[in-house]
Amino acid sequence: QKEVEQDPGPLSVPEGAIVSLNCTYSNSAFQYFMWYRQYSRKGPELLMYTYSSGNKEDGRFTAQVDKSSKYISLFIRDSQPSDSATYLCAMSGGDYKLSFGAGTTVTVRA
Amino acid sequence: DSGVTQTPKHLITATGQRVTLRCSPRSGDLSVYWYQQSLDQGLQFLIQYYNGEERAKGNILERFSAQQFPDLHSELNLSSLELGDSALYFCASSAGTSGGVADTQYFGPGTRLTVL
């Protein structure tokens, strides 16, 4: 079993819909949780960063962490075609090693 | 543009060969990370250097090695290449001042390695 599980999708939604992405993990030592966005043929870029449990909002993006369930989520409101990308969750226990999910490919249809 | 540069963009080589991938971090960043991204394994952390010293090691094969030079650029050396080494190799950099994971990692555009 992988340390971080993420459904690779693909996920296709109409423009304006809410995109819901999630990851589960098995390592209870993870404290730092991130979401990266990766466009085709580009490197990942950091979208959201959360420490421990709770919610964080940044514009149309909301990240949630539930450490008791070992479950993290990313919500994208009012999705746009420019949001079409692969979204990767990543997490770490405080050392320098990031463990990534497989990535979910999202397409927002105009 | 993240400010991290990687060369070359594409590399095609044969099994058994050796290649060197190069990374220049963002100006002022002290930490450099190397990742391998393949379809079946996803994005895997290989190794991290901080100001010239190895700081953390992930799933890096013994055939692979890296170093960070005094000017902070880094090289990843891959030897005795196998078909399964075909992947995207990313370099990322971070400031490194707060000690690792709390630093935002900025990724370069990657080097696509094809082993024939």
- The answer to whether B15 touches B70, Cβ cutoff 8 Å, is no
- Tens of pLDDT along A58-87? 999 999 999 999 999 999 999 999 999 999
What local confidence, expressed as pLDDT, does residue B15 receive?
A: 97
What local confidence, expressed as pLDDT, does residue A27 receive?
A: 92
- The answer to whether A31 touches A51, Cβ cutoff 8 Å, is yes
Among B4, B42, B106, the residue with its CB nearest the CB of A103 is B42
Rounding to the nearest 10 degrees, give the CA dihedral for residues B85, B90, B94, B98: -40
Interface list for chain B against chain A, based on CB atoms closer than 8 Å: 2, 4, 31, 33, 42-45, 48, 55-56, 58, 90, 92, 100-102, 104-110
Mutation target to probe the A interface, by most A beta carbons within 10 A, among B35, B41, B43 is: B43
Among A32, A97, A102, the residue with its CB nearest the CB of B58 is A97
- Tens of pLDDT along B58-89? 889 999 999 999 999 999 999 999 999 999 99
Q: Would the pLDDT of B13 be above 90?
A: yes
What local confidence, expressed as pLDDT, does residue B98 receive?
A: 53
**CB contact (8 A) between residue B45 and residue A97:** yes
What local confidence, expressed as pLDDT, does residue B100 receive?
A: 52
What local confidence, expressed as pLDDT, does residue B9 receive?
A: 96
Q: Would the pLDDT of B99 be above 70?
A: no
Please report residues of A whose CB lies closer than 8 A to that of B1.
none
**CB contact (8 A) between residue B100 and residue A95:** yes
Percent of chain B with pLDDT over 70: 94
Q: Would the pLDDT of B101 be above 60?
A: no
Please report residues of B whose CB lies closer than 8 A to that of A94.
100-101
Count Cβ atoms below 10 Å from residue A86 Cβ, excluding itself.
Answer: 19
- Tens of pLDDT along B49-65? 999 999 889 889 999 99
The distance of A46 to chain B (nearest Cα, Å) reads 7
Please report residues of B whose CB lies closer than 8 A to that of A23.
none
What local confidence, expressed as pLDDT, does residue A110 receive?
A: 94
Residue B103 pLDDT level (bands cut at 50, 70, 90) = confident
What local confidence, expressed as pLDDT, does residue B102 receive?
A: 60
What local confidence, expressed as pLDDT, does residue A77 receive?
A: 97
- Tens of pLDDT along A2-56? 899 998 889 999 999 999 999 999 999 999 999 999 998 899 999 998 888 889 9
Rounded mean pLDDT, B26-41: 91
- Contact pairs from chain A to chain B, CB under 8 Å: 58
Residue B104 pLDDT level (bands cut at 50, 70, 90) = confident
Of all residues in chain B, the one with the smallest CA distance to A40 is B109
Q: Cβ of A29 under 8 Å from any chain B Cβ?
A: no
What local confidence, expressed as pLDDT, does residue B7 receive?
A: 97
DSSP chain B: --S-EEE-SEEEE-TT--EEEEEEPPTT--EEEEEEEETTTEEEEEEEEETTEEEEE-S--TTEEEEE-TTS-EEEEE-S--GGG-EEEEEEEE--TT-STTSPPEE---EEEEE-
